[in-house]
A and B are shown apart, each in its own frame.
Chain A
Amino acid sequence: MSTTVKSLSAVALLLVLGTASAGAGEGPWGPGADDASFKAMLKSGFRSKGIATLARLDQDETQAFCSDPDNVSGKTGEKKRAEIEAANLATVKWPSDGVWLGDYKEGEKVAQSGRGLTSTDKADMVNGGNCYNCHQLSPKEISYGTIGPSLYQYGKLRGDTDEVKRTTWAKIWNSKASNACSNMPRAGHMGIVTEKQIKDLMALLLDPASPVNQ
């Protein structure tokens, strides 16, 4: 093979590789799932309904990063995950009056409710915390999900030091502050629940009288 032919094949190979990586975009996606095609598909595929408007398809940095399964765990995304956790931690608003715990009975209601913020919900309804969808809490409730860890005896196992209260509050307010691509929603940060509701959830988890800690 002459030198010219060799360098031509090298150029051709580079062209092929170049096209393939441009087509695949940044992530692990195959040809055709590039950013332009994906955006066009999103734009033509959805419509606003009630409070669930098209703006909900616009991702923040955390959502965009965590939408690539290769970033969620493993070495490649490690540094970026730490940055995302720091940025989310900075959003946490601590209790405005210094009181951490509310009423665990009210907290149980918040934990039970999975309602709010869907396309068929009204803007002024009281949102739930969705907790039982994914976590075990009070042993009286046998219908609990397992996407998240069991929180049964949460306070009994950890105690109620200021450190535990801060960690717990931050986890509920913005779960991504401690785990960049956690499956758990950022309940306070995204306005899913109010500060008062978080206090009541704190009581459900940490009050020694709460059914969770029996």
Chain B
Amino acid sequence: MKRWHAIGIATALAVVGASTGVVSAETDKSIESIEQYREALRDGNPAELFEAQGEELWKTPAGPKNVSLEGCDLGLGAGVVQGAYAHLPRFFKDTGKVQDVESRVLTCMSTLQGIDVKPLIDAKFNTPEKDRLEAIATYVSGQSKGVKVEVSLVHPEERKAFELGKRMFYYQGGPHDFSCSTCHGQEGVRIRLQELPNIPTHKGAAAGWTSWPAYRVSAGQMWGMQWRLADCFRQQRFPEPIYGSDVTVALSMYMAATANGATMDTPGIKR
């Protein structure tokens, strides 16, 4: 893992070094070179290592009951991982809730493996506990690579989650008055040089939803959507969203359903 990280950083420095030499005020060119850099990174995405780790965690017996997660129902039936991510979030009868991959995996850890998941929910990101959850989400997402997003809004709870997520998307608060929409509600804008998907559109929602979980080269970390959302809220100057909470699932539901019909390209890779 360390080796991958080092290679990533070396490549990043080389590209940044090269681009500052060539680019003056020509921002389009610098964005272009960042795009080329992203393309180059796609060969040998370190996310593959997290996928492998996640698969192992999925298949290895664990917890007080010493069983694996292979019996986990991600929505397509117990044990079906292939294509499951592309249909999440969805309503689950057994919990009576709409769940995304992370909250569903926590349910399976609790019910199948007998694990107390509270410490996992409360654990900080970038700790072994959370990294294991990210790895599992990465593995599950990889099993939907190339599959069309098809999130159901048939169940009343699913529609409710969508509407609540939409409302949350526009909810302003904190000292900066920020909402998700402040940065992700316009077409073709950037923060610094980072382009921002316009989430309320199909194209924007698809760009966001189908590319996470993603390996973040600058940090050397594997981020699932829960981590992505938590860091958005941090930058919004909001309090901390609770891992797997209804508000995070509702936002994912809004994004995923708006992205319906797009093709999953997970796990992704980001700067």
> Across the interface, which residues of A come within 8 angstroms of B25, CB to CB?
139, 142
Chain B residue at minimal CB-CB distance from A140: B25
The stretch from A101-109, A114-122, A161-169, A200-208 touching chain B is A114-122
**Are the CB atoms of B175 and A56 closer together than 8 Å?**
yes
Kindly state whether residue A66 has any CB partner on chain B within 8 Å: yes
- How far does the Cβ of A112 sit from chain B's closest Cβ, in whole Å? 10
In Å, the complex CA distance between A143 and B239 comes to 28
Whether B173 and A146, one on each chain, are in contact in the complex, defined by CB atoms closer than 8 angstroms, is no
List A residues 78-114 near B (Cβ within 8 Å): none
Q: Is B192 on the interface with A (CB-CB < 8 A)?
A: yes
Whether A185 contacts B30 in the complex (CB less than 8 A), given A33-B166, A46-B238, A119-B239, comes out as: no
Interface hit among A1-9, A11-19, A24-32: A24-32
Nearest to A184 among chain B residues (CB) is B177
Partner of B156, one of A32, A59, A64, A192: A32
Among B163, B181, B239, the residue within 8 A (CB) of A30 is B163
Cβ of A57 and Cβ of B239 under 8 Å apart? yes
Contact of B234 among A29, A63, A119, A133 (CB under 8 A): A119
B residues near A117, Cβ cutoff 8 Å: 174-176, 237
A44 at the interface (CB under 8 A from B): yes
Contacts of B171 in A (CB 8 A): 42, 59, 67
Chain B 124-162, CB-CB to A under 8 Å as 1, else 0, gives: 000000000000000000000000000000001101111
B157 and chain A: residue at smallest CB distance? A32
Q: Which residues of B contact A42 (CB under 8 A)?
A: 171, 247
0 or 1 for each of B163-193: is its CB under 8 Å from A? (1 = yes) = 1101110111111111101110110111111
Task: Write the chain A residue with the least CB distance to B162.
Answer: A30
Chain A residues 166 to 196 lying within 8 A of chain B, measured CB to CB, are 176, 183, 185-186, 190-192
Please give the distance in Å from B94's CB to the nearest CB on chain A.
20
Given A33-B164, A56-B174, A192-B175, A45:B238 Cβ within 8 A = no
Residues of B contacting A38 with CB < 8 Å?
Answer: 164, 167-168
B95 interface residue, CB < 8 Å from A?
A: no
**Those of A115-174 within 8 Å (CB) of chain B:** 117-120, 130, 132-134, 139, 142-147
* A214 interface contact, C-beta 8 A: no
Verify B173–A58 contact, CB threshold 8 A.
Answer: yes
List residues of A (32-68) whose CB comes within 8 Å of B's CBs.
Answer: 32-33, 37-38, 41-42, 44-49, 52-54, 56-59, 62-64, 66-68
Q: Is B205 an interface residue (CB 8 A)?
A: no
CB distance from A167 to the nearest CB of B (A): 20
Is B175 a contact partner of A45 (Cβ separation < 8 A)?
A: no
| Chain B residues with CB below 8 A from A130, complex form | 176
B71 lies within 8 A of chain A by Cβ: no
Q: Which residues of A contact B190 (CB under 8 A)?
A: 145-147
B-chain residues with CB within 8 Å of residue A53 when the two chains form the complex: 239
Q: Is there contact, CB below 8 Å, between A185 and B177?
A: yes
Q: Is the CB of B192 within 8 A of A145?
A: yes
> Which of A31, A56, A132 sits near B173, CB closer than 8 Å?
A56
Chain A nearest CB from B246 CB (Å) reads: 5
Whether, in the assembled complex, B242 has its beta carbon less than 8 Å from a beta carbon of chain A, the answer is yes
Contact B241 A142 (CB under 8 A): no
A168 to chain B, nearest CB (A): 19
B260 close to A (CB within 8 Å): no
Min C-beta distance of B163 to chain A, whole Å: 4
Which residues of B178-233 have CB atoms within 8 Å of chain A's CB atoms? 178-179, 181-183, 185-186, 188-194, 196, 233
For A43, the closest partner residue in chain B by CB is B247
Considering only CB atoms, which chain A residue lies closest to B247 in the complex? A45
Taking a contact as CB atoms under 8 Å apart, the answer to whether B174 and A52 are in contact is yes
Distance between Cα atoms of A47 and B121 in the complex (Å): 12
With A44-B245, A46-B242, A47-B240: A147-B189 Cβ-Cβ less than 8 Å: yes
Interface centre among A27, A66, A176, A183 (most CB of B within 10 A): A183
17 inter-chain pairs at a CB distance below 8 angstroms, sorted by A residue, are A32-B161, A33-B163, A41-B168, A42-B171, A46-B240, A52-B234, A53-B239, A56-B173, A59-B171, A59-B172, A66-B177, A69-B170, A117-B174, A118-B235, A143-B193, A146-B190, A183-B182
